[in-house]
């Protein structure tokens, strides 16, 4: 009976303690800077080196480049850049290998959509996703 | 007034009168059930460092249960293909009806009582025993193995715990010399029976928790083992009826404990008589209700075989010893 | 005459307390189990086969998803295996960060076990209390690695991130808080007579059984075998810390419960010392080639995860992908004793026994 009484005392004490739940949809979740959310993509920084597509463990990145419109400049610029968020596991490896930090993580994580097709995010979407961008990208 | 009508000759007027009164009581009870579910969720929430319902009906979620019930009523009524249809439909009714019938004898205040039976306590125990048929039927008719196990467990548990439940009240009956609930309340004018019958009270509390199949005795519907026990296959308003029966029993049992051990509607001291009986009743009622909610959020579940052992090997002898002790005290000092 | 027959009951894959998609086909005589047959594979993702086409760095996020309650130890085992093959020395600071992260993960994992086990036994509140503390750990690991559950924190040769400013201080502050909460847990559950009634003498097996079934971790230590790889085959920097290996003799669910609760305390001890000795500065990543190629050959390493010995075998033919990768997943091995334990028990005990083994289905199915 003593053990039961001890337990009752413990739960009674909890009654007046501070609540630990988040008021999530009403208030945004506080997330640390390093949090790995939906990527932000800077098309102007990208040099079409294909490293992100190669390192991706789930092969969810597809990109194509085109010749630089200014004929005096060498190299390529990005044409299309798609991430399939149905299979992206937000592992952060693409941002880790990117030599120009053209792709970085943000703190946004709300990906719910009504259709699977809408999880296929293109260059415009990733470019516009520019709030809560991670400050420090390389350790 | 009700006493007079009960003794007058039967007629249409009486029937309509009682029907309306019954309806009013049903609504009162439904209101209680609504808010006791909310209270349960709130108390458990606060103990578990959560807020509980706080979206619908203001900060305290006052309309949450109403919304839940509405949702249940709107749900598709599913009867499994292989279920025993008539029994499946009948079971929730059988489970619920006695739970409402027992409320008739409970004196909420000195005037507000429906039937002042001479054997009120016996009536309560006898009628509440009927519910187990509904539960067993529901478990059997669902044609689901989990339901069957839950129903069998419920039957075994409720029948075994009814015995210590009645035995523990015998002490109270010995002291008050009556089975009438009004007389029992009046006998507590000079001291609540919890002071004279502490052992009886503890046994009654434990046995009543088992009767209500609440934690730590919630084996019939133990979620982690039997999914939902006897009402696994029930949905919508049929399921709501089982839930309703459970909470109406909670209401009735809490009221019964208030009457048997805490002096019912009477003020604890004579000089506090100016406060109406209904207030005292509901105060005591709330304290006991909180006790049940508190137990639920603290204890783990008992094991089926240990449960039976506990009923027959511990509670029964203790209750019998309590009767002995009470009889000796009664013959020596009263 | 009354005809009785045995009933076959399908427990799972959708059942509240099979901890995921675990299925158990039991034959019942009344409520007594006469035969139990675990059916696994509902969460099989083929990590090992997938790894054959992945570079070593790419395998790390996949290991996060095996034992998702303590992903740090999985991260470590694959990195450790590759490092062993390549002969890479790990910087001291990286080693400390790894140990702190792994021990935090161990505490979090045991907390989840404690909460869900009590939930299985019918007590609802401990679950929330355990998750309150776990949330603090998860938040700390989130600050460190950027993930709450799938950390992807370790790299071959070190770790990805250095500790953010003030993070070690947070760990230091967490330790006394956790000790206080642990005392509360003991007063809530450990002395509770109903709880003791449910776990004492349940799911008992002997030392010989445990060794024959190749159990590891707490499931082995509860029978009196003092075997903890952190002590017996020290990897990383575990030999620098002073801690005990909790051992119980009786081999029942109650012994496993006590072992795990004591292990939380030992982990806190390690954390305390690691946070104290944490080097002021230093590298967090050793010099490794940009494309990691393990030399031709094979390696097997094993470490102590919260659930037991997790091992990693790599056979490499010198390419950047492994030729064959194999994980020794402790939950899978620990589960094998279940049919033997369940015979003759009733349904209520079935849940208590399954819960006490502490399986994670992501790890069982691989």
Q: Write out pLDDT tens, residues C69-91.
A: 888 898 899 988 988 888 888 88
User: Chain B partners of C202 at a C-beta cutoff of 8 Å?
Assistant: none
Handedness of CA C105, C110, C114, C117 (dihedral sign): positive
Nearest CA in chain C to B223: C16
| Model pLDDT, residue B188 | 77
Lowest mean pLDDT among B25-34, C101-110, C128-137, C145-154: B25-34
pLDDT tens digit string along B33-56?
888 888 888 888 888 888 888 888
pLDDT tens readout for residues A35-63:
888 888 888 888 888 888 888 888 888 88
Query: Does the beta-carbon distance from C348 to B50 stay under 8 Å?
Result: no
Identify the pLDDT of residue B2: 59
- Set of chain B residues whose Cβ sits within 8 Å of the Cβ of C132: 49
Is the pLDDT confidence value at A98 over 70?
A: yes
A5 contact C CB<8A: no
Banded pLDDT at C22 (limits 50, 70, 90): confident
Q: State yes or no: A88 annotated in a binding site.
A: yes
In this prediction, residue B167 carries a pLDDT of 85
Residue of A4, A11, A18 with shortest CB distance to B47: A11
Give the span between the Cα atoms of C256 and C137, in whole angstroms: 23
Other residues' Cβ atoms within 10 Å of the Cβ of residue A35: 23
Task: Determine the 3-state secondary structure of C308 from DSSP.
Answer: strand
Query: Does A60 count as an annotated binding residue?
Result: no
Closest by CA to A65, choosing from A32, A97, A37, A102, is A102
Per-residue confidence (pLDDT) for residue B77, from 0 to 100: 82
Closest CA to B105 of B2, B213, B204: B2
Q: Is A52 annotated as a binding residue?
A: yes
B1 has a pLDDT exceeding 60: no
**pLDDT given for residue C308 in this prediction:** 87
> Which residues of chain B make contact with C118, given a CB cutoff of 8 A?
300
For B222, the token pair is 């133990």
Q: Residue B305: closest CA among chain C residues belongs to which residue? A: C346
**Contact (CB<8Å) B49/A7:** no
Residue A23 C-alpha from the chain's centroid: 22
Q: Find chain C residues with C-beta within 8 A of B139's C-beta.
A: none
Rounded distance, CA B174 to CA B179, Å? 9
DSSP labels, C277-341: H--SS--SB----SS--PPSEEEEEEEEETTEEEEEEEEE-SSSS-SEEEEE-HHHHHHTTHHHH
Whether pLDDT at C130 is above 70: yes
* pLDDT, average across residues C316-333: 88
Q: Is C346 on the interface with B (CB under 8 A)?
A: yes
Is it the case that residue B223 has pLDDT exceeding 80? no
Q: Which residue of A has its CA nearest to B43?
A: A15
The residue with greater pLDDT, A7 or C253, is: C253
- Spell out which residues of chain C touch residue B225, defining contact as CB-CB under 8 Å: 17, 347-348, 350-351
Of C7, C124, C348, the CB nearest to B303: C348
ipTM: 0.86
CB-count burial class (<10 Å; 0-12, 13-18, 19+) for A62:
middle
What is the model's pLDDT at position A73?
A: 78
Average pLDDT (C94-117) is 90
User: Alpha helices of chain A — where are they, by DSSP H?
Assistant: 2-14, 51-55, 93-97, 123-128
Residue B224 has its nearest CB partner, among C122, C188, C189, at C122
CB contact under 8 A, C192 and A7: yes
Q: B3-7, B153-157, B166-170: lowest mean pLDDT where?
A: B3-7
Q: Mean pLDDT throughout C325-329? A: 89
Sheet of strand A61-67: strand arrangement: A61-67, A76-84, A120-121
| Nearest residue on chain B to C26, alpha-carbon basis | B145
Contact C346 B303 (CB under 8 A): yes
Average pLDDT over residues B217-237: 77
Q: How confident is residue B270, by pLDDT bands cut at 50, 70 and 90?
A: low
What pLDDT, on the 0 to 100 scale, is given for residue B4? 66
Cβ contacts of residue B94 below 8 Å, gap of 6+? B130, B131, B133, B134, B137
Q: Give the residue among C356, C152, C125 at the shortest CA–CA distance from C257.
A: C356
Q: How many CA atoms lie within 13 A of B234 on its CB side?
A: 30
Average pLDDT over residues C253-274: 90
Nearest CA-CA distance, residue C118 and chain B, Å = 7
Contact B294 A4 (CB under 8 A): no
Does B3 score more than 80 pLDDT?
no
C97-113 mean pLDDT: 90
Res. C199 pLDDT band, cuts 50 70 90: confident
Residue range C42-71, pLDDT digits in tens: 888 888 888 888 888 888 888 888 888 888
Give strand pairing partners of A62.
A82
Residue A20 pLDDT exceeds 80: yes
Rounded to the nearest angstrom, the minimum Cα separation between B215 and chain A is 13
Determine if the peptide bond prior to A79 is cis (ω within 30°): no
Using one digit for the tens of pLDDT, what is the confidence trace for B103-149? Answer: 878 787 766 666 777 787 888 888 888 888 888 888 888 888 888 88
Give the strand order in the sheet containing C32-39. Answer: C7-11, C23-29, C32-39
At A37 the pLDDT is 86
Q: Which of residues 97-156 of B touch C (CB under 8 A)?
A: 145-146, 149
> Cα–chain-centroid distance for residue A130?
11
Chain A, residues 68-107, CB within 8 A of chain C, namely 89-93, 96, 105
How far apart, in Å, are the Cα atoms of B16 and each of B13, B20, B27, B28? Answer: 5, 6, 16, 18
Beta-carbon separation of C61 and A89 below 8 A: yes
Give me the residues of A, 9-28, that contact B with CB < 8 A: 10-12, 14-15, 17-21
**Contact map slice: C 250-279 vs B, CB within 8 A:** none
What subunits make at least 3 CB pairs under 8 angstroms with A?
Answer: B, C
Could you tell me which residues come within 8 angstroms of residue C87 by beta carbon, excluding any fewer than 6 positions away?
none
Q: In whole numbers, what is the pLDDT of chain B averaged over residues?
A: 82
Nearest Cα of chain C lies from the Cα of B237 at a distance, in angstroms, of: 23
Burial of A84 (0-12, 13-18, 19+ CB in 10 A): middle
Give the pLDDT confidence score for residue B297 in this predicted structure: 84
* Residue C320, token pair as written in the block: 């950047």
Q: Which residues of C touch A11 (CB under 8 A)?
A: 125, 188
A126 touches chain C (CB under 8 A): no
> Are C361 and C19 within 8 A, CB to CB?
yes
- Asked if C121 and B300 come within 8 Å (Cβ–Cβ), the reply is yes
Which of B145, B227, B300 shows the shortest C-beta gap to C123? Answer: B300
């Amino acid at each position: 009976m003593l053990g039961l009484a001890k337990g009752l005392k413990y739960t009674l004490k909890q009654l007046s303690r501070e609540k630990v739940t988040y008021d999530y949809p009403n208030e945004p979740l506080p997330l640390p800077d390093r949090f790995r959310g939906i990527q932000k993509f800077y098309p102007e920084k990208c040099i079409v080196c294909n490293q992100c597509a190669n390192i991706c463990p789930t092969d969810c990145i597809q990109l194509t480049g085109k010749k630089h419109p200014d004929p005096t400049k060498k190299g390529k610029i990005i044409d299309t850049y798609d991430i399939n968020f149905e299979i992206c596991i937000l592992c952060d490896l693409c941002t880790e290998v990117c030599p120009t930090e053209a792709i970085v993580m943000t703190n946004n994580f709300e990906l719910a959509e009504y259709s699977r097709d809408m999880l296929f995010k293109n260059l415009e979407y990733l470019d516009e996703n520019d709030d809560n961008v991670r400050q420090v990208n390389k350790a | 007034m009700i006493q007079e009508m009960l003794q007058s000759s039967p007629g249409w007027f009486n029937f309509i009168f009682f029907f309306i009164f019954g309806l009013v009581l049903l609504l009162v009870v439904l209101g209680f059930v609504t808010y006791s579910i909310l209270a349960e969720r709130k108390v458990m929430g606060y103990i578990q460092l959560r807020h509980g319902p706080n979206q619908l009906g203001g900060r305290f979620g006052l309309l949450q249960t109403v919304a839940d019930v509405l949702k249940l009523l709107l749900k598709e009524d599913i009867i499994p293909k292989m279920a025993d249809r008539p029994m499946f439909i009948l079971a929730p009714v059988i489970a619920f009806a006695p739970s409402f019938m027992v409320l008739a004898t409970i004196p909420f205040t000195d005037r507000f009582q429906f039937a002042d039976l001479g054997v009120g306590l016996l009536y309560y125990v006898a009628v509440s025993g009927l519910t187990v048929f509904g539960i067993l039927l529901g478990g059997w008719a669902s044609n689901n193995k989990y339901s069957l196990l839950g129903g069998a467990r419920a039957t075994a548990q409720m029948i075994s715990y009814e015995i210590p439940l009645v035995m523990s009240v015998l002490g109270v009956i010995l002291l008050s010399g009556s089975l009438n609930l009004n007389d029992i309340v009046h006998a507590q004018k000079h001291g609540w029976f919890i002071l004279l019958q502490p052992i009886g009270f503890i046994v009654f509390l434990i046995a009543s928790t088992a009767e209500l199949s609440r934690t730590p005795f919630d084996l019939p519907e133990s979620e982690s083992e039997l999914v939902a026990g006897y009402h696994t296959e029930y949905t919508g308003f049929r399921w709501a009826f089982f839930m309703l029966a459970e909470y109406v029993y909670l209401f009735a049992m809490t009221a019964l404990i208030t009457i048997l051990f805490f002096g019912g509607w009477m003020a604890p001291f004579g000089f506090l008589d100016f406060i109406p009986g209904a207030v005292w009743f509901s105060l005591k009622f709330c304290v006991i209700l909180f006790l049940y909610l508190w137990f639920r959020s603290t204890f783990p579940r008992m094991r089926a075989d240990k449960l039976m052992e506990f009923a027959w090997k511990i509670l029964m002898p203790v209750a019998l010893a309590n009767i002995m002790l009470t009889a000796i005290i009664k013959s020596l000092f009263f | 005459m009354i005809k009785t027959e045995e009933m076959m009951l399908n427990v799972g894959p959708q059942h509240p307390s099979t901890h995921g998609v675990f299925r158990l086909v039991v034959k019942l005589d009344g409520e007594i189990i006469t035969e139990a047959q675990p059916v696994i594979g509902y969460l099989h993702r083929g990590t090992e086969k997938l790894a054959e086409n992945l570079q070593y760095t790419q395998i790390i996020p996949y290991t996060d998803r095996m034992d998702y309650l303590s992903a740090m130890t999985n991260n470590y085992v694959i990195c450790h295996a590759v490092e062993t093959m390549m002969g890479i020395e790990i910087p001291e600071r990286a080693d400390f960060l790894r140990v702190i992260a792994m021990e935090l993960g161990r505490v979090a994992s045991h907390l989840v076990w404690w909460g869900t086990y009590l939930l299985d036994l019918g007590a609802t509140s401990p679950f929330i209390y355990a998750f309150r503390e776990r949330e603090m750990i998860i938040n700390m690991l989130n600050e460190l690695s950027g993930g709450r559950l799938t950390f992807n924190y370790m790299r071959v040769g070190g770790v990805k991130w250095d500790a953010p400013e003030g993070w070690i201080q947070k760990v230091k502050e967490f330790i006394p808080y956790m000790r206080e909460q642990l005392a509360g847990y003991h007063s809530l559950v450990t002395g509770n007579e109903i709880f003791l009634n449910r776990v004492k003498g349940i799911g008992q097996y002997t030392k010989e059984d445990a060794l024959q079934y190749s159990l590891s971790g707490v499931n082995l230590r509860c029978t009196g075998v003092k075997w903890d790889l952190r002590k017996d085959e020290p990897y990383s920097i575990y030999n620098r810390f002073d801690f005990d290996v909790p051992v119980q003799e009786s081999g029942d669910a109650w012994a496993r419960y006590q072992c795990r609760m004591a292990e939380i305390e030992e982990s806190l001890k390690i954390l305390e010392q690691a946070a104290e000795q944490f080097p002021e500065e230093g590298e967090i990543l050793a010099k490794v080639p940009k494309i990691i190629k393990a030399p031709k050959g094979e390696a097997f390493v094993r470490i102590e995860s919260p659930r037991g010995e997790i091992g990693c075998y790599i056979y490499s033919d010198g390419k950047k992908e492994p030729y064959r990768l194999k994980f020794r997943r402790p939950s899978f091995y620990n589960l094998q004793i279940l049919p033997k334990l369940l015979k003759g028990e009733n349904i209520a005990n079935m849940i208590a026994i399954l819960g006490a083994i502490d399986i994670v289905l992501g790890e069982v199915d691989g």
